[in-house]
């Protein structure tokens, strides 16, 4: 009797280990070290940073759109700070053909900048029209001043930028991100994740430092001109606008 009971227990345990689905509820069952773990519950075993990094690789490869840090933390069943550590580990690996790209709270893979030309050729993008100097200038202003309104951009450039903004928006390099709380509630523009891909940046933190603009500190000059645009009630280009010239700033030359 004892032997028979032990045999039946063994058979039951074996059957339980092999089971992949609870046939009554239809819920998948995961077996971890002789423990059944239902999806959505945390395992009693901690996950190492290297293993978590590998898990994040899997998440990023199958995600339909760039997930947020919270999405990754929820999926892995860990805290945000552990996700940050794992992402740092992924970024330290220079032997990959990709980099981890951050756009705000969202994370995605992008091709390594060192392969940019070959990837463009492989995808047939070498025949794609290049951005004009006006588009690059406007894009640089948005990148450094974001969120920025059209009036602020016009004030910095000294010319109307509506057509250039439309072009950059159609190329997916900028997008409306908010509205300025002032008369008319003008749209404020910011850069997109495609902007980071286009210039081979992992995040906006990798933007090159601003140089001198007309003999003034680049940041101060842009802020002063943008303030003029914010205070102008009309769509006309304000007088005294700052003009970005390739020889006067690090912005345009370093983004090409």
Q: What is the pLDDT of residue 46?
A: 78
Domain shared by 161 and 197, yes or no: yes
Domain shared by 82 and 184, yes or no: no
Decide if 199 is inside a domain: yes
Q: What is the pLDDT of residue 86?
A: 93
Domain shared by 84 and 185, yes or no: no
User: Domain range spanning residue 78?
Assistant: 49-109
Decide if 114 is inside a domain: no
Domain shared by 199 and 92, yes or no: no
How far apart are the C-alpha atoms of 36 and 15, rounded to whole Å? 12
End-to-end CA distance of the chain: 82
DSSP notation for 42-63: PPSS---HHHHHHHHHHHHHH-
Decide if 121 is inside a domain: no
Q: Examine the fold and report which residue of 66, 81, 109 is the final residue of a domain before the chain moves on.
A: 109
Domain shared by 14 and 73, yes or no: no
Decide if 44 is inside a domain: no
Domain shared by 18 and 55, yes or no: no
Contact 62, 111 (CB under 8 A): no
Decide if 145 is inside a domain: yes
Q: What is the DSSP letter of 122?
A: H
Q: What is the pLDDT of residue 14?
A: 38
How far apart are the C-alpha atoms of 175 and 194, rounded to whole Å? 10
Domain shared by 13 and 75, yes or no: no
Q: Which residues of the chain have pLDDT under 70?
A: 1-45, 125-129, 212-218, 229-256
Domain shared by 141 and 223, yes or no: yes
Give the closest residue to 221 by CA, choosing from 139, 152, 165, 133.
152
Decide if 231 is inside a domain: yes
How far apart are the C-alpha atoms of 2 and 164, rounded to whole Å? 84
Contact 48, 37 (CB under 8 A): no
Domain shared by 154 and 203, yes or no: yes
Decide if 15 is inside a domain: yes
Domain count, the chain: 3
Decide if 123 is inside a domain: no
Domain shared by 161 and 239, yes or no: yes
What CATH number should be reported for the domain holding residue 186?
Answer: 1.10.10.10
Contact 210, 250 (CB under 8 A): yes
Q: What is the pLDDT of residue 202?
A: 84
Domain shared by 24 and 53, yes or no: no
């Amino acid at each position: 009797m004892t032997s028979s009971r032990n045999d039946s227990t063994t058979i039951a345990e074996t059957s339980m280990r092999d089971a992949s689905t609870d046939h009554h509820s239809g819920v998948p069952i995961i077996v971890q070290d002789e423990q059944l773990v239902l999806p959505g519950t945390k395992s009693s075993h901690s996950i190492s940073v290297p293993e978590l990094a590998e898990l994040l690789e899997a998440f990023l490869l199958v995600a339909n759109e760039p997930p947020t840090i919270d999405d990754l933390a929820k999926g892995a069943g860990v805290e945000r700070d552990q996700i940050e550590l794992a992402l740092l580990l992924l970024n330290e690996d220079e032997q990959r053909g990709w980099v981890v790209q951050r756009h705000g709270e969202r994370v995605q893979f992008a091709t390594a900048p060192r392969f940019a030309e070959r990837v463009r050729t492989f995808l047939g993008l070498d025949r794609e029209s290049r951005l004009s100097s006006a588009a690059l200038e406007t894009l640089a202003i948005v990148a450094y001043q974001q969120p920025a309104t059209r009036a602020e951009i016009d004030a910095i450039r000294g010319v109307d930028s509506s057509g250039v903004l439309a072009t950059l928006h159609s190329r997916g390099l900028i997008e409306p991100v908010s509205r300025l709380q002032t008369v008319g509630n003008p749209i404020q523009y910011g850069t997109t994740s495609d902007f980071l891909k286009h210039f081979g940046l992992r995040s906006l933190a990798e933007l090159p430092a601003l140089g001198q603009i007309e003999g003034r500190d680049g940041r101060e000059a842009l802020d002063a001109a943008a303030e003029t645009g914010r205070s102008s009630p009309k769509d006309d280009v304000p007088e005294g606008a700052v003009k970005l010239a390739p020889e006067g700033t690090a912005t345009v030359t370093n983004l090409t």
